[in-house]
């Protein structure tokens, strides 16, 4: 009887864990999509040479754009990590 109760509680906890992680994945989807978009922009920027375009009149434009894209990616990664860490802490509390 005690074993059956312990197993039941364990399975209920696992169901809760599964629900939490599914919601984490749903929350992270928009951030991951934004990160993918930034990756595409970085790739496009790396394929061109701004100095060969009419935009060459703007000094250091390519470097500044690259810097801004990297900052945006860093911010998104931080948000992603914050969400995952917050949910991980919530998950730990569920187990207790």
Q: What is the pLDDT of residue 47?
A: 96
Q: What is the mean pLDDT of residues 57-74?
A: 96
User: For the segment 17-60, what is each residue's pLDDT rounded down to a tens digit?
Assistant: 888 888 888 989 999 999 999 999 999 999 999 999 999 999 99
| Contact assessment for residue 31 and residue 80, using Cβ atoms and an 8 Å cutoff | yes
Q: What is the pLDDT of residue 37?
A: 97
pLDDT at residue 7 is higher than 70 = yes
Closest CA to 21 of 72, 96, 95, 73: 95
């Amino acid at each position: 009887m005690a074993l059956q109760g312990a197993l039941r509680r364990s399975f209920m906890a696992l169901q809760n864990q599964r629900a939490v992680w599914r919601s984490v994945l749903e929350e992270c989807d928009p951030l991951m999509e934004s990160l993918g978009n930034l990756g595409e922009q970085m790739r496009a920027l790396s394929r061109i040479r701004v100095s060969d375009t009419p935009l060459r009149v703007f000094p250091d434009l390519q470097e500044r754009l690259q810097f801004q894209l990297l900052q945006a990616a860093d911010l998104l990664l931080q948000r992603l990590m914050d969400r995952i860490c917050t949910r991980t802490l919530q998950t730990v509390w569920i187990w207790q």
